[in-house]
Amino acid sequence: MRLVIPQRLTMAHGVRGGMETQAQILAEGLIARGHTLLVLTNPHPDGRTDGTEGSNEAIPVRYIAPGTWKKYRTAWWNACYQEIARRHRANPFDLLLSQSAGALGYLPLVRASLRLPCVVIIHGSMMTELRTRWRGAWSLRGAYRLIRHLKRFPWLWLLWRRAAPMVDHWVVVSTAIAKEWQRELGIPSERITVIPNGVDPETFRPDPEARLTTRQQLGISMETPLLLCVGRLEQEKGFQVAIQAVRRLLPRFPTLQLFIVGEGAYRKTLSKIAATTVGAVTLPGYASGQQVARWLAAADIFLMPTLRDEGLPLTIVEAMAAGVPVIASKAGGIPDAVDEGRTGMLVPMGSVEALTQTIETLLQDSRLRSSLARAARETAVKRLSRDHMVAATEHILTSVRGPSPL
């Protein structure tokens, strides 16, 4: 199958979030299964127009101007459509696979003029994004982001309403997002399939040797309780809640350590909050997938205290595959993966008290930690693996391949 995949940004743009990682894993998996594809994205930071990306540099990418990875622009959508139309005439594509709103601005044209089937992968919803912006509006930066989002919201909503009938099938990462999308656009359930984000269970796995060496490198004993957060350093990720919980726990667990791995605009604020813990919280910066696997091997508990309605955070799936007990906010699609009391623990969003109590419970109960870790690993291998995600997506693409009547 010959695919074209529009997406707003890739790893090359310096933002390495869950959506970008999932898109790369999926593209590599489809190529490994014999499909050919071309990714269309916004201009590369160094100005190149063509390149390859991925762990093996196997994903062909075309960087389309004018545009910016920071937001969708009509001019970029128009340029992408012209690129697709030109290439389709010379060597027809079998299907367009849009990562989120990557092709939103021209989906009707793709169907009407090129007669190209369309599948859209959705990682969130319009209302979940709006709720997240509203929750963060208490800060000056958060208020600015809310106002900016409100200005664009009606335009994006109208574009989705116009494009929805042209989409052959929707792939969403969780049941919560599927329900939101059905409410927002009235999409029939038979046109939506839930395919959770998947990871490589061989990369992310329990690794006693890595646990020992990573802790030795950090200068941390095997007995020291180590908590881990991984993600973009943004206010909405809730890492400040984790720091506040650690501050409350230190009198009872004086050697407790929290590492928050990642980079982002909220680093300076988090560093100030972390300073109140007198060395118990460390922000080591960005880590690659392999490095994250080693961090997870060293960790006792993984924390995801997000303040947003997440689709299905890839970091949670990575932690589960690594056999690390997870404590996460009960929000969005997280309960799809974290089965309360069996594969992890869920706490109310933003509750420092609940997070503190749950961390304390797990730190004091090694049997419970082991039970959660085993069940999480089993779930990740059976249902949240990279191979399962790629195979399930391939099945959807194959089922809609070829022109379908409007």
In this structure, the answer to whether residues 250 and 146 fall within a common structural domain is no
**405 in a domain, yes or no?**
no
In this structure, the answer to whether residues 110 and 172 fall within a common structural domain is yes
CATH code of the domain covering residue 176: 3.40.50.2000
Give the residue numbers spanning the domain of 149: 2-198+386-400
pLDDT in the model for residue 406: 40
Peptide linkage before 66 cis (omega within 30 of 0): yes
The whole-model pTM stands at 0.92
Which of 197, 193, 176 minimizes the C-alpha distance to 128? 176
**63 in a domain, yes or no?**
yes
**303 in a domain, yes or no?**
yes
In this structure, the answer to whether residues 142 and 270 fall within a common structural domain is no
pLDDT in the model for residue 402: 52
Q: Give the integer Cα–Cα distance in Å for 229 and 239.
A: 7
In this structure, the answer to whether residues 326 and 247 fall within a common structural domain is yes
In this structure, the answer to whether residues 168 and 184 fall within a common structural domain is yes
Going residue by residue through the chain, which has 406 residues, state the pLDDT in tens, using 9 for 90 and above. 999 999 999 999 987 788 899 999 999 999 999 999 999 999 999 999 999 999 889 999 999 999 999 899 999 999 999 999 999 999 999 999 999 999 999 999 998 899 999 999 999 888 888 888 888 887 888 888 889 889 888 999 999 999 999 999 999 999 999 999 999 899 999 999 999 999 999 999 999 999 999 999 999 999 999 999 999 999 999 999 999 999 999 999 999 999 999 999 999 999 999 999 989 999 999 998 899 999 999 999 999 999 999 999 999 999 999 999 999 999 999 999 999 999 999 999 999 999 999 999 999 999 999 999 999 999 999 999 999 999 999 999 999 985 444 4
- Which whole-number Å values give the CA distances from 363 to 5, 86, 243, in the listed order? 44, 59, 16
**89 in a domain, yes or no?**
yes
pLDDT in the model for residue 404: 43
**246 in a domain, yes or no?**
yes
Q: Give the integer Cα–Cα distance in Å for 208 and 214.
A: 10
Q: Give the integer Cα–Cα distance in Å for 118 and 107.
A: 8
Q: What is the DSSP letter of 195?
A: -
In this structure, the answer to whether residues 258 and 376 fall within a common structural domain is yes
In this structure, the answer to whether residues 243 and 119 fall within a common structural domain is no
In this structure, the answer to whether residues 74 and 120 fall within a common structural domain is yes
Total domains in the chain come to: 2
In this structure, the answer to whether residues 359 and 250 fall within a common structural domain is yes
**203 in a domain, yes or no?**
no
pLDDT in the model for residue 405: 41
**406 in a domain, yes or no?**
no
Q: Contact at 8 Å (CB) between 159 and 104?
A: yes
Q: Give the integer Cα–Cα distance in Å for 27 and 5.
A: 9
**222 in a domain, yes or no?**
yes
In this structure, the answer to whether residues 107 and 164 fall within a common structural domain is yes
In this structure, the answer to whether residues 366 and 275 fall within a common structural domain is yes
In this structure, the answer to whether residues 6 and 123 fall within a common structural domain is yes
